Amino acid sequence: MTRYRDAAAFAALAIVWGLGFGAVELGLASFPPLLLNAVRYDLAALLLFGYLGVRVDEWRPTTRSDVFAVVGGGLLWIGLGNGVWFVGQKLTSSVFSGTMPSLIPVMTVAFSWVLLPEDRLTPLSLVGLGVSIAGAVVITVPADGLTIDGRLVGTGLLFVGVCGAALGSVLIRRARPSIPNATTTAWSVTIGAVFLHVLSPLVGESVPGDVTVASWLGLAYLCVFSTVFAYLLYFSLLERHSAIELSLVTYLIPVVAGTAGWLVFGEPITESLVVGFPIVLSGFLLMKRDAIRTEVERVRSGV
Angle between helices 230-238 and 2-28 (to 10 degrees): 150
pLDDT score at 10: 83
Residue 65 burial (10 A CB sphere; 0-12, 13-18, 19+) = middle
pTM of the model: 0.80
- Mean pLDDT confidence for 152-158: 87
Residue with the larger pLDDT of the pair 71 and 174: 71
User: What single string gives the DSSP state of each residue in 157-214?
Assistant: HHHHHHHHHHHHHHHHHHH--SS-HHHHHHHHHHHHHHHHHHHHHHTT----S---HH
CB 78 within 8 A of CB 189: yes
pLDDT in tens, 179-237: 998 899 899 999 999 999 999 999 999 999 899 999 999 999 999 999 989 888 887 77
Give whichever of 24-38, 252-266, 270-284 has the largest mean pLDDT: 24-38
pLDDT score at 245: 65
Q: Which residues span the domain enclosing 30?
A: 2-301
How many structural domains does the chain have? 1
Q: Which of 129, 151, 141 is nearest to 280 (CA)?
A: 129
pLDDT score at 243: 63
pLDDT score at 239: 64
Give whichever of 25-29, 148-152, 279-283 has the largest mean pLDDT: 25-29
pLDDT band at residue 145, thresholds of 50, 70 and 90? Answer: low
CB 56 within 8 A of CB 184: no
User: What single string gives the DSSP state of each residue in 64-127?
Assistant: HHHHHHHHHIIIIIIIIIIIIHHHHHHHS-HHHHHHGGGGHHHHHHHHHHHH-GGGPPPHHHHH
Residue 100 burial (10 A CB sphere; 0-12, 13-18, 19+) = buried
Q: What is the mean pLDDT of the chain?
A: 84
pLDDT score at 140: 67
Residues contacting 50, CB < 8 A, separation 6+: none
pLDDT in tens, 72-124: 999 998 999 888 888 998 888 877 888 888 788 888 878 888 888 776 667 88
Per-residue DSSP letter, 31: S
The Cα–Cα gap between 70 and 138 comes to: 35
pLDDT score at 96: 81
